[in-house]
Amino acid sequence: MDVHVIPVAPNDKYCFLVVEFNKNGCVKTIQFDWEEKKKAYKYAKNLRRKLKRRIK
């Protein structure tokens, strides 16, 4: 499972796209994050942690 945080506009610090891929490589969740980049990455990290737990 993969989670990517993609900046929507190169100069935009506040809008991020958080994309989660399932194991087939299909996009499962798309979420816009209007917060700071750090928060978007934190969200992605937490999501990754949750997914790992779910797989086990």
Tens-place pLDDT, residues 2-45: 666 666 666 655 566 667 776 776 666 566 655 555 666 677 77
Tell me, yes or no, if the pTM score tops 0.85: no
**In this structure, are residues 14 and 40 in contact, taking their beta carbons and an 8 Å threshold?**
no
Give the residue with greater pLDDT, 54 vs 42: 42
**Count of other CB atoms within 10 angstroms of residue 25:** 7
**In this structure, are residues 32 and 8 in contact, taking their beta carbons and an 8 Å threshold?**
yes
Query: d(Cα 40, Cα 29) in Å, to the nearest integer?
Result: 14
pLDDT above 60: residue 49: yes
Q: Quick one: average pLDDT of 39-56?
A: 67
